[in-house]
Structure 1
Amino acid sequence: MTDFTLLDTTGATTSVPVNDAPDYRKPKHALTSRTAYAAAHVIPHAWADNTPGQPAEIDWDATLAFRHHVWSWGLGVADAMDTAQRNMGLDAAATRELITRSAAEARSVGGALVAGVNTDHVDDEMITLEQIIDAYKEQLHFTEDAGAGVVLMCSRHLARTATSASDYERVYSEVLAAASTPVVLHWLGEAFDPQLAGYFGANGWEPASDTLLRIIEASDGRVSGVKMSLLDADAEIAVRRRLPVHTTMFTGDDFNYARLIDGDDQGHSDALLGAFAAVAPSASAAIQALDDGKVERYRSILTPTEALSQQIFASPTFFYKTGVAFMSWLNGHQAAFSMVAGLHSARSLPHLSEIVRRANDSGALERPELAAARWNDLLAVNGVTA
């Protein structure tokens, strides 16, 4: 079997053996102990003009096949989220088509699907609170009509326009009142999007969480869950313990998800993670172990993948999408390592090399020999030889 050639930041290379793929099996029944969504990426045509500022030209066959891959492992798909390059190359027309197509595919297999609702189809940077409410409602109704569940994402427009916590409460109250079914609120930290600093009207997570909880309590049951993506496990646990009954905490903590999903004697988090798009078989196998009451087996599968995820989501965190697409390419889910808006260039070769090492160590490579061939060829194209 071919070795992996690894590259460090000095340009030096080493070789490591390729590990066998774990013998994970797809579930025969629905996963029951935890609800888990993988936030999926989009795959462009390799021949398209995938350069900054150009409209996304999506390879729909490959993009939708990846969603079927996730569903086949018993996970749900969270679509049109930041992992799909919302606000980083996925334009409004492509977003609408993605939601429509994914909803149709989900219906065809009975797959769970939620999709992001935002205000990002509005080109003007500064708009009024009334216009923000209308923009949210427009996407909300479109997504509901398509047949997808709703994740109400943080709005850059709202972050720029709001002057107080009460502005957030007003906007969310009016948008939630227009929802026909309960939605998931998404709290995306500034590590993922610096333009969302001070969201919910406060710079610290504690006062911001007070605003979030007031929004939920005033929603009359229209909030089914919260996805927290602050990369702060203690903050997530603190908010989780304050949520109303029947309101689910979906961890978005791509650094600490294993113990958050595992939980404690006061509860656990379910999952809505970009990391799970990179490690879907491992995530499924781990939750299957929990379903069988095998907690140590769960931990032995999922905990090692955190080191991989921490590399994928390393600072600057908002470029994590490059690592998700890179893993998709290594695992044979797309023909080329290419991304909308040229984002495949956002990480260095040494950074990608460390992803390779950690993926190999954690059992996240589905087709290790293919991964080795593709990675070693990519190095060779870039003038790196062992």
Structure 2
Amino acid sequence: MTASVTSASVVLPIDGQLDRYQLSEPGDWRRPRAPITSRIAYAAAHVVPNVLGDNTPGAPADVDWDATLSYRHELWSYGLGVADAMDTAQRGMGLDWNATRELITRSGREAAVVGGRLACGAGTDQLAAQDVPAGARGLAVITDAYREQIDVVTAAGANVILMASRALARVASSPEDYLSVYGTLLSEADRPVILHWLGEMFDPDLRGYWGSADLYSATATFEALVRQYADKIDGVKVSLLDAAHEVALRRALPEGVRLYTGDDFNYPELIIGDGQYHSDALLGVFAAIYPAASTALQHLDAGDSALARRILESTGALGRHLFAAPTYYYKTGIAFLSWLNGHQRGFSLIGGLASGRSVAHLSEAFVLADRAGLLADPELAADRMRTFLALNGVG
């Protein structure tokens, strides 16, 4: 997607030297006039910190609730659902359980006001490592922790996303331990939930999830769980950055169980599909590209899959860059773009995570976002980029 240039420009560090970069006009994005129907699409939203809060590593999260909730309203206004309290919101990377519980409750109230689609993560991160004994007692503690968080999500009126558990990854000694914990929770569910399989590239502590570091063995356990409890599962969110694996898995799912892609590299082809199967979406990258993502899905609703694919593919380079290894620092780039677009007062993240990416990385993100038409106000973005570079000694 191409656009005409603007008068806004920034001297950027590109390929190791400083060059003047001219910004382009933003894309011709539009909010939908009717609900999007061709796909169910959630954007996994980040949280905005209070700029005067502590928010250093290890400190309790101090959240700017007005800015955080305003960002969710922005996503809803483009017809997307919000997936809240997920890894994009820094679960396990700064967002403690007290702040998570408040986030879920507040987002639930706001979703009810506007009729926005909302799903929230339920996990076990209120448990400290020393709180979880080994064996059957540990599995019972983990199950109860899940129940506590499920109750919070349900009380907020949101759909439940059963997140992967670091505690379960530590305690489980076999695939049967996973099947026992998840089977208990699914049998108790009063409405279909979303299962979340988060790969170790997003969280190294989840290596060997489902009882094996071998992908095919883990998939067999996962598929067995889904088949047994298909009536309790709305869909599965798979974040493994492996398109071939996702295509094979979605073909194997029982009828009525959706696959929500969590592949922030290959989402264009997976969402468009192969004519027989397609993936729905629950993506962190959608929090960065939501105007383009919404416009693409509107064209898909209208039957123009070719244009929808071109729009999504035009954001692909940005997505691959934001989620480059180490992938778990992708939140830094998403918050950086949020700041450039005026959705938060400062470029900061809870837990001090604003330092998770280099100046060179964020400069490249700036260029790729501009090329994708995702800098809504080029003058504002250029001014903030100059400020960021000057604070980091570039000028």
Same fold? TM cut 0.5 = yes
When normalised by structure 1's length, the TM-score is: 0.98
Question: Distance in 1 between the 2:265 and 2:393 partners?
Answer: 33
C-alpha deviation, 1:304, in angstroms: 1.4
Secondary structure of the residue aligned to 1:31 is coil
Which residues of 2 match residues 57-136 of structure 1 at below 5 A? 57-125=62-130, 126-127=132-133, 128-136=138-146
Question: Distance in 2 between the 1:185 and 1:102 partners?
Answer: 20
Question: Distance in 2 between the 1:157 and 1:319 partners?
Answer: 21
C-alpha deviation, 1:209, in angstroms: 1.2
C-alpha deviation, 1:280, in angstroms: 0.6
Which residues of 2 match residues 142-221 of structure 1 at below 5 A? 142-219=152-229, 221=231
Match of 2:149 in 1: 139
Question: Distance in 2 between the 1:366 and 1:85 partners?
Answer: 25
2:230 touches 2:257 (CA, 8 Å); kept in 1? no
1:76 touches 1:111 (CA, 8 Å); kept in 2? yes
1:366 to 367, 372, 376: 376
Secondary structure of the residue aligned to 1:132 is helix
1:7 to 4, 13, 26: 13
1:54 to 59, 73, 76: 59
1:40 touches 1:79 (CA, 8 Å); kept in 2? yes
Q: Deviations over 1:135-155 (max 9, x none)?
A: 111111121112110000000
Match of 1:330 in 2: 340
Match of 1:242 in 2: 252
Match of 2:265 in 1: 255
C-alpha deviation, 1:381, in angstroms: 2.0
Question: Distance in 2 between the 1:9 and 1:98 partners?
Answer: 40
Amino acid at match of 1:96: R
1:251 touches 1:260 (CA, 8 Å); kept in 2? yes
2:8 touches 2:378 (CA, 8 Å); kept in 1? no
Question: Distance in 2 between the 1:323 and 1:220 partners?
Answer: 36
Amino acid at match of 1:82: D
Amino acid at match of 1:245: E
Amino acid at match of 1:6: L
2:285 to 275, 278, 282: 275
Question: Distance in 1 between the 2:47 and 2:85 partners?
Answer: 9
Question: Distance in 2 between the 1:154 and 1:9 partners?
Answer: 38
Task: Give unmatched runs, 5+ long, in structure 1.
Answer: none
C-alpha deviation, 1:213, in angstroms: 1.1
Question: Distance in 2 between the 1:207 and 1:20 partners?
Answer: 48
Question: Distance in 1 between the 2:324 and 2:229 partners?
Answer: 35
1:304 equivalent to 2:314? Answer yes
C-alpha deviation, 1:315, in angstroms: 0.4
1:137 touches 1:178 (CA, 8 Å); kept in 2? no
C-alpha deviation, 1:220, in angstroms: 5.2
When normalised by structure 2's length, the TM-score is: 0.96
Amino acid at match of 2:247: I
Question: Distance in 1 between the 2:93 and 2:15 partners?
Answer: 27
Runs (4+) of structure 1 moved beyond 4 Å? Answer: none
1:22 to 27, 31, 34: 27
1:40 equivalent to 2:17? Answer no
1:71 touches 1:77 (CA, 8 Å); kept in 2? yes
C-alpha deviation, 1:156, in angstroms: 0.3
Which residues of 2 match residues 316-327 of structure 1 at below 5 A? 316-327=326-337
Match of 1:225 in 2: 235
C-alpha deviation, 1:380, in angstroms: 1.5
Q: Comparing 217-226 with 69-78, which one deviates more in the overlay? A: 217-226
Aligned pairs, how many?
A: 384
Q: Deviations over 1:193-223 (max 9, x none)?
A: 0000010011122211111111112225111
Question: Distance in 2 between the 1:146 and 1:179 partners?
Answer: 15
CA RMSD in angstroms comes to: 1.0
Secondary structure of the residue aligned to 2:8 is coil
Question: Distance in 2 between the 1:269 and 1:367 partners?
Answer: 32
Question: Distance in 2 between the 1:350 and 1:175 partners?
Answer: 45
Question: Distance in 1 between the 2:97 and 2:120 partners?
Answer: 14
1:326 touches 1:337 (CA, 8 Å); kept in 2? yes
Amino acid at match of 2:196: H
Amino acid at match of 1:182: P
C-alpha deviation, 1:265, in angstroms: 2.7
2:82 touches 2:117 (CA, 8 Å); kept in 1? yes
